[in-house]
Structure 1
Amino acid sequence: MVFTFLAAVVGTLLGTALTTAGPAAAAPAAPPWPAGLTAAHLTAAHLTAPDTDYSTRLTFAVSSIDPTVVTAGGPATLTITGTMTNSGPEDLVDLSYRIQRGEALRSTAAVHDEIATPSEPVARVPSGFEPIAGSLAPGASAPFAFTAALTGADGLDIRQPGVYPVMVNVNGAVVLANGPLEARIGELHLLLTVLGVPGSTAPTPTGTPTPFNFVWPMVDVPHLGVDGVFLNDDLLTAISPGGRLATLLDSLTGPTMSTLPAGALTVVLDPQLLDELNRMTGPYRVVAPPGASQPPLSAIDQAAAAATSTAPPAATGSTAPSTNPSGDPGDAGALDIPGTVAGTGQQVAASYLTRLRAVAQTHPVVLLPYGDPDVVALVRAGMTGEVTAAQEHGREVARQVWGDLASVSAGDPTSTTAFPIDGASDGATLSTLMAGGARTGLLSQPSVEVPADAGGRPASAAVIATDQDGPGLPTVVAQTDVLGGLDKLITDHQPTGWATKVNALTALLAQQRADGTATPAVFAPTRRWSPDSAALGGLGQLLGELTRSSMIVGAPLATLTQGAQQTGTTDYPTAARDRELSPQYLQRIATDRADLAALRTALTSVSQPADPATVLDPLDAALDAAASTAFRTDPTVGEANLATVESTVQGIRSGVQIATSSTNYTLASSSSPLVLTVQNSTAYDVPVTVQLTGGEMVGLTTTDQPVQIIPAGRSQQVKIPTEVTRSGQFQVTATLVGPDGLTWGDPVQLSVQSSAYGALTVILMAVAGGVLVVMVALRIRQRLRGRRARIAAAAQGTAGPAGPGSADAGGDGHQDQPGDRRGDRPQERHSDRLVAESVPSPGPSPVPTPGPTPTPPAKATHQRSDQRQDFRS
């Protein structure tokens, strides 16, 4: 031993010196190690690396640990089997192993610490290694079987009962460029539970049995599309022999689980699994080929209509065909729907459903909300109605499939226990679940804060406060970490195998019994766990052995919640929040639900020739499971169902359109109505009004109009009263709007031509005409006054006042005014002058002036007077 230790130290120091020396001290590079190296190529000069440098090169998948519990009458040899894999880039050769053990752990807390951070046990270290045949290339795997004697100096030397840490230490040589390097290349950490030393006659130590309950999820992913069509036939595979759900049910009904104490097992069931199994017992349709989209609901309606037309006439006449008239979920499966094939799993589903009912009559059942929705994410998104609807839908499905829940379940009404995924919740979600009927809870230790009891033991049940005033929710605290989250039982960063989880479970239960704490233990695997039949068989044997050894006793959840004395609060983990459905996906569900509700309100507001529920109810049912936790990792089915809901709702709304054969309209007068044709290609009478937008800016307004009922499958003209305030051509948009304010069809652009004067135009014309009349009247009045003034002045022999219209002001007594007729003015001037000359001037006669004799004035006057008379005649 000392020589080995010294050799290792010297080898380590020598290797360090060679790797840290400068270029001058470095040995010449050796050629790459030849491929296919075996143990025969190794020499005694190989170097040894530190234990931690290559200790993770081998990864282990453990398939069995025998014995699971060491007893006085059991086998005396520990055997561990499984598969090991070379996860590094170099070959591994000269493999060997030894099994080391440590001192017995002293408390349950020490067992938890060992599970979380495995130690290197050195209480018993064999002096030699056992060889492992063969070598491992990079990425290669090989089976292993590690063995060690449980007693004796050449074995693990177990002498007392207890829980012992055990490590399988695998050594080998890592083939590097400069040669092989010996190193520890793998570590496998386990816990060895010893209730009795093999071959010993000493009595097995006694203790207080641990109240125990194992939560057994029977939850699958959704497979159902819309209106009874299955999007795939994966459920048939799951319930067939060898399938995941078949394996779980076989173990529940097998002989090993029958030895469990009463109340030690609780079944968790998703009602959607019941729904799908029930549908599969009759004719059902599956989308084909696999991965194709679901046929539209119109194809299902057509298939139903075709089936109705070939069937004998019913006794009572009715309306449009229904895909599911009787409410039997198998009715739609009998239709010949394009894009689907007939399902073939009737017998398998019927058998499975019968056996599942027998399990529910034997063990208590926790019934989840329908589809196992992501309840915390829904509540956080403000969609509490989805949670409550899923709770009620789940109870309804269970009643339809199983009848009275109380007569089926072995425990209390099964829908009253709140068990969100991973056992994680916040206060608001607990309040929502309680409002929907939850009376007890099942949460995990990482998601609650509960003070330890006086002995420092974690509480197994507590009253968890919610975000509402009240007594809180009596809750069982499950140890989900034991079976759902161990990362270091095999190797760092590697997923744990089922055998190692059972190994840890055994150790915890045994140590609790040895401590005498009797703290109840509730273990809950992940929702969609997938153990194989061998692992479940081992689990059943383990629980049976623990029961026979008085290590565990059954503790129903209802009993544990009755003993809840401490108070606690929720502590929703960040990791759980990161796994939730995305807000964008949840918003899509909320939008689809609102659109569907609005469509239902619109169609049910009037009498219908066909029942809208035949289409709308399947859409609602599809949304009930759209927020399933299964869609966290694979949303294919959820997104496919949302797409079907959206396309169906949009298809109905787009079935009512404004005819676009002609979008040019002419209004003959200012109050002419705009007449549009509305076409309805749906099977329902649709109430709508037509809204015009864009006309306000161009002088086109409409008055409120009543709701128009557009008959199913017909066209109807709609008159829209309008008022036009100007003529011309302009564009407006016409939209069909339902009573709920949502649109039907697509908006249509209309070109409107108006040839009539509007009220504003008429007013402007009237005002302009009035102004013109006033101006003419003023002009006539002005001319009359001027003429009277001149006549009066002539009669008096005076020139009249100077100013406008007098001779002094303009030579002829008149100023030109706009609108004068220039042809009349010369005659007026001659007439005025003649009148003036015919009046004798007063005063003395002028003195004659010598000169030529002028033309006699009277003659000229008479000539002009004659001309005027001729003119007037």
Structure 2
Amino acid sequence: MRSVAALVAVVVVVLTALLVGGPAEAATSGGLRLELSDVSPRVVTADGPTTLTVTGTLRNDGPDPVTDLEIRVQRGNPLTTEGQVRDALNGDAATDAVAPQFTPLADVLEPASEVRVSLSVPLRGSSTTGLELGSAGVDELLVNVNGTPAGGSRARLAAVRMLLPVLGLPGAATGPVRTAAPAPLTVLYPIADVPHRLSTVPGAPVLLDDDTLATSFAPTGRLGGLVAALAQRAPLSSPVRSAICLAIDPDLVESASVMSQGYQFLGAGGVPTAGTGAAAAGQWLAQLSAVAKGGCVVALPYADADLVALARGGLTDAASRAIITGRQVLLTLLQTPVANDIVWPADGLIDTSTLDVVEAAGGRSLLLSADSVDGRARSGVVPLARRSHPIAALLTDPLLTSAATGRRGPTAAPGPGAAATAESLAGERGPVSTQDLIGALSFRASAGTPLVLAPPHNWGAEGTGAADLLDAIGTLITVGDVTPAGLTDTLAATNPAAPAVRADPPVEMSVISGAAIGAVAAATRDLADLRTAVVSNVGVGITADQLFAPLDLGVLRPSSATRRGSPTDAQSAASVELSRVDAIRNSIRVLEPPNPYSLGTSDAPLPITIANSLPVTVRVRIEIVGTSGLRVTPIDMQQIPPLGRRQVSVNAQVTRAGQFTVEAAVRTPAGGLLGPPSRLRVRSTAYGTITGWLTAIAGALLVVLTARRVWRRVRGEQNRQTARVDPTPPPTDDYPTGPTERLPLLDTTLPHTRLPSHAE
């Protein structure tokens, strides 16, 4: 048994060494990070370069120096099945079929330092010096850095993996002969970003949460690079452009438009600071408008809103607004036709309740992932079952989407004795981010079935990566592997006889968190309540639609699908938006006077001032909570002018003298509180009701007592006058007739008291 266990242990060790690239790589990582800036060629062709060149930078982010650094490029066996391609994209495939010798890179790399990487290897050649490519297909490459960390053994300390498509062998007399027809290719080209704009009322300065869009809109930024690559590598008359349909976020375009007029962003400490990207935003918008004219354009939901999360949260009106209004915004700003019935939900996933919203919003053609529907269909156009209106779904390729997305979630750090994990650049912000997508597209093209390339809406491609992808598509068209197919033409090829499918998204589908959607729902309710107070058609200020249209769209930004998988970010954005709506509602309030109100009489009017900082006329209710010293009669609805104030005289009755505090608030006609209640101090010098009654009673008692005293005096005087005129003699007592008893005399002698003398 011990011998069997030992044999199993040996097999496990050998397999582990093979999977990680050899025994020299099975050790701890040294805190190194390999960043590739270029790989050339991106597609191997018969008439292309004969060597593969990799350039980049190796950085030491660890606390200790690393010595004896070496590098090589190795490859696995050609990938022939979809399962093998998926394993490669997940980093689970072996990459040691051909492993040339290592090339010295640096003797030592100190902490917080870096070294330039530049390595060229023959694409063919022998296995000791080159990659030994022997046939067309798709291979997985591994850029492998070995070294010795401080206190450790030699190990693989950094690695980057990627797919390399081989359309022909360099130097070969003839290329491979294709027997299948070219695969029809439709490419969706997303232009979107995480929403950065915060809600403000019309007339207020445009406010962003940061100034990152200024960098991204610049020609060297991600968004600037996406548009520039399209203009340079896929002009309107080119075959590549005929396969492309732009999918644009209306909120991003609207943000560029308002930023070009000047804007602010929240700087240090949340202080509004002047933005620096007005010129870049204007130039980017002008270039995008020029590129979009004459081509296919589809509007993403406004702010790339998560339609599924909104529908599940009961915000169907908001989801519908994201579709309909978003399309109108894009049409107005770009001044070019926008497809009016095509909807592309985030990740191409949708459920039945969301499909009802899309249908009600006029969606008749959907771009869905093949993983989002039931049935056997994996490509082409299929009808959706049990709909009130005919709705067609164009199925996008999940494998291509996965290759453009990359591995989601954090990568587990290797433990002691383990080799560094091979990183994938797919989905990252960098020039090599589209290499896996190029390889997966070449793999799919060999099958000849219709292809729809649908990257994530907020994909990681920037200028260089997008340009390389467009060049690769052009190469595939040139060699006859694919043929361009426009989106509208592809959708028009619906087969009515095809079996209908139902929306069936994966159970583990990621959506915006319920807490964030709850905050969005609260902000939506608050805006609806505020709308009941707005008076339209009064001839001053702006209309209700002009005020609420941008606010209703603004509450969609926290629900952006770009925040899927980041519940903390989504919740934070929703909380910020809710606070912005609260601040707008607080623009209508009762002003607190600096000094107490003085009331001289019991029924003196109480003056209340209501301020309205909104550019619309509002009709509100004033509510004053009475106290034991003050009673207030009901107050009629009050109309407050835009950006103004109004003083209202409130009928009040004072019930006692002194100083006391009352609370005054403003409410919408629907009862919602506008602004925080204000505390009003009131000083009364008037007699209240109780004091008046006490005074009256005291006065009455005084009168009664005075009258009684007068009456008694009058009666007493009358009695004295009667006594003086009475002739009847007073009665006399009879003296005793017996002997008289002599009483002893009272001794009135005082005891002798000695008075003190001055001498004493």
Pairwise same-fold verdict (TM > 0.5):
yes
Q: Give the Cα–Cα distance (whole angstroms) in 2 for the partners of residues 160 and 738 of structure 1.
A: 75
Contact 1:678 1:710 in 2 (8 A): no
Say whether residues 1:484 and 2:463 are aligned partners. no
How many percent of aligned residue pairs carry the same amino acid?
25
Match of 2:263? 286
Contact 1:422 1:527 in 2 (8 A): no
Following superposition, the deviation at residue 414 of structure 1 comes to: 2.1
The 5-angstrom pairing of residues 65-76 of structure 1 reads 65-76=39-50
Which of the numbers 507, 516, 527 marks the counterpart of 2:458? 527
1:84–1:415: structure 2 CA closer, same or farther, 3 Å change rule?
Answer: farther
Contact 2:50 2:123 in 1 (8 A): yes
Q: Give the Cα–Cα distance (whole angstroms) in 2 for the partners of residues 105 and 517 of structure 1.
A: 17
Match of 2:757? none
Match of 2:436? 504
Residue identity matched to 1:254: Q
Contact 1:705 1:720 in 2 (8 A): no
Which of the numbers 609, 617, 641 marks the counterpart of 2:546? 617
Match of 2:207? 231
Which of the numbers 128, 131, 135 marks the counterpart of 1:160? 135
Q: Which whole-Å deviations, capped at 9, do the CAs of 1:383-438 have from their partners, x for residues lacking one?
A: 222233333433333343344xxxx23xxx42422223333433322322332222
1:148–1:89: structure 2 CA closer, same or farther, 3 Å change rule?
Answer: same
The root-mean-square deviation of aligned C-alpha atoms, in Å, is 4.6
1:166–1:717: structure 2 CA closer, same or farther, 3 Å change rule?
Answer: closer
Q: Which whole-Å deviations, capped at 9, do the CAs of 1:254-290 have from their partners, x for residues lacking one?
A: 0456644353212111223333444456xx3433895
Counterpart of 2:46 in 1: which secondary structure? coil
Which of the numbers 236, 240, 256 marks the counterpart of 2:218? 240
1:626–1:433: structure 2 CA closer, same or farther, 3 Å change rule?
Answer: same
Q: Give the Cα–Cα distance (whole angstroms) in 2 for the partners of residues 599 and 93 of structure 1.
A: 72
Match of 1:105? 79
Which of the numbers 73, 79, 82 marks the counterpart of 2:53? 79
Which of the numbers 250, 256, 277 marks the counterpart of 1:271? 250
1:142–1:465: structure 2 CA closer, same or farther, 3 Å change rule?
Answer: farther
Match of 1:393? 325
Following superposition, the deviation at residue 79 of structure 1 comes to: 1.9
The 5-angstrom pairing of residues 159-198 of structure 1 reads 159-176=134-151, 181-198=153-170
Match of 2:376? 452
Counterpart of 1:166 in 2: which secondary structure? strand
1:693–1:340: structure 2 CA closer, same or farther, 3 Å change rule?
Answer: same
Following superposition, the deviation at residue 110 of structure 1 comes to: 2.3
Say whether residues 1:552 and 2:474 are aligned partners. no
The 5-angstrom pairing of residues 123-138 of structure 1 reads 123-126=97-100, 128-138=101-111
1:116–1:277: structure 2 CA closer, same or farther, 3 Å change rule?
Answer: closer
Which of the numbers 590, 610, 630 marks the counterpart of 1:654? 590
Say whether residues 1:754 and 2:689 are aligned partners. yes
1:56–1:71: structure 2 CA closer, same or farther, 3 Å change rule?
Answer: farther
Q: Give the Cα–Cα distance (whole angstroms) in 2 for the partners of residues 69 and 686 of structure 1.
A: 64
Contact 2:359 2:389 in 1 (8 A): no
Match of 1:762? none
Residue identity matched to 1:483: A
Counterpart of 1:443 in 2: which secondary structure? strand
Q: Give the Cα–Cα distance (whole angstroms) in 2 for the partners of residues 651 and 428 of structure 1.
A: 37
Which of the numbers 2, 16, 28 marks the counterpart of 1:54? 28
Counterpart of 2:187 in 1: which secondary structure? strand
The 5-angstrom pairing of residues 16-95 of structure 1 reads 51-54=25-28, 58-86=32-60, 90-95=64-69
Say whether residues 1:383 and 2:315 are aligned partners. yes
Contact 1:174 1:181 in 2 (8 A): yes
Counterpart of 1:507 in 2: which secondary structure? helix
Contact 2:247 2:297 in 1 (8 A): yes
Contact 2:592 2:680 in 1 (8 A): no
1:572–1:222: structure 2 CA closer, same or farther, 3 Å change rule?
Answer: farther
1:114–1:272: structure 2 CA closer, same or farther, 3 Å change rule?
Answer: closer
Q: Which whole-Å deviations, capped at 9, do the CAs of 1:165-186 have from their partners, x for residues lacking one?
A: 333444333331xxx6333444
Q: Which whole-Å deviations, capped at 9, do the CAs of 1:489-536 have from their partners, x for residues lacking one?
A: 99446654556543322332333333x3424131314426352x3333
Following superposition, the deviation at residue 661 of structure 1 comes to: 0.7
Residue identity matched to 2:689: S
Match of 1:518? 449
* Unpaired segments ≥5 residues, structure 1: 1-8, 14-47, 296-338, 668-673, 759-873
Match of 1:3? none
Q: Which whole-Å deviations, capped at 9, do the CAs of 1:790-811 have from their partners, x for residues lacking one?
A: xxxxxxxxxxxxxxxxxxxxxx
Match of 2:717? none
TM-score for both structures, normalised by structure 2: 0.70
* Count of residues in Structure 1 that have an aligned counterpart in Structure 2: 634
Q: Give the Cα–Cα distance (whole angstroms) in 2 for the partners of residues 195 and 61 of structure 1.
A: 26
1:285–1:452: structure 2 CA closer, same or farther, 3 Å change rule?
Answer: same
Following superposition, the deviation at residue 653 of structure 1 comes to: 3.3
1:560–1:416: structure 2 CA closer, same or farther, 3 Å change rule?
Answer: same
Counterpart of 1:133 in 2: which secondary structure? strand
Q: If you compute each CA radius of gyration, which structure gives the higher value, 1 or 2?
A: 1
Match of 2:121? 148
The 5-angstrom pairing of residues 603-682 of structure 1 reads 603-604=535-536, 608=538, 610-611=540-541, 613=543, 617-618=546-547, 620-628=549-557, 629=560, 633=569, 643-654=579-590, 661-662=597-598, 666=602, 675-682=605-612
Counterpart of 2:586 in 1: which secondary structure? helix
Following superposition, the deviation at residue 365 of structure 1 comes to: 0.9
Q: Which whole-Å deviations, capped at 9, do the CAs of 1:131-156 have from their partners, x for residues lacking one?
A: 22332234543222233222233533
The 5-angstrom pairing of residues 183-222 of structure 1 reads 183-206=155-178, 207-220=180-193, 221-222=195-196
Q: Give the Cα–Cα distance (whole angstroms) in 2 for the partners of residues 257 and 580 of structure 1.
A: 43
Counterpart of 1:582 in 2: which secondary structure? helix
Say whether residues 1:360 and 2:339 are aligned partners. no
Q: Give the Cα–Cα distance (whole angstroms) in 2 for the partners of residues 289 and 162 of structure 1.
A: 51
Contact 2:244 2:487 in 1 (8 A): no
Match of 1:440? 365
1:579–1:443: structure 2 CA closer, same or farther, 3 Å change rule?
Answer: farther
Say whether residues 1:261 and 2:249 are aligned partners. no
Q: Give the Cα–Cα distance (whole angstroms) in 1 for the partners of residues 113 and 207 of structure 2.
A: 38
Contact 1:51 1:183 in 2 (8 A): yes
Q: Give the Cα–Cα distance (whole angstroms) in 1 for the partners of residues 72 and 589 of structure 2.
A: 73
Q: Which whole-Å deviations, capped at 9, do the CAs of 1:70-121 have from their partners, x for residues lacking one?
A: 2221122122222234465553322334443333222233222322244234
Say whether residues 1:250 and 2:184 are aligned partners. no
Q: Give the Cα–Cα distance (whole angstroms) in 2 for the partners of residues 626 and 263 of structure 1.
A: 36
Match of 1:537? 467
Q: Give the Cα–Cα distance (whole angstroms) in 1 for the partners of residues 345 and 517 of structure 2.
A: 18
Counterpart of 1:715 in 2: which secondary structure? strand
Counterpart of 2:503 in 1: which secondary structure? strand
Residue identity matched to 1:754: T
Match of 2:502? 568
Residue identity matched to 2:224: A
Following superposition, the deviation at residue 554 of structure 1 comes to: 1.7
Counterpart of 1:204 in 2: which secondary structure? coil
Q: Which whole-Å deviations, capped at 9, do the CAs of 1:206-251 have from their partners, x for residues lacking one?
A: 1332322332222243446522523256555443332332211111
1:217–1:635: structure 2 CA closer, same or farther, 3 Å change rule?
Answer: farther
Q: Give the Cα–Cα distance (whole angstroms) in 1 for the partners of residues 278 and 629 of structure 2.
A: 68
Say whether residues 1:431 and 2:356 are aligned partners. yes
* Unpaired segments ≥5 residues, structure 2: 1-9, 15-21, 413-419, 694-760
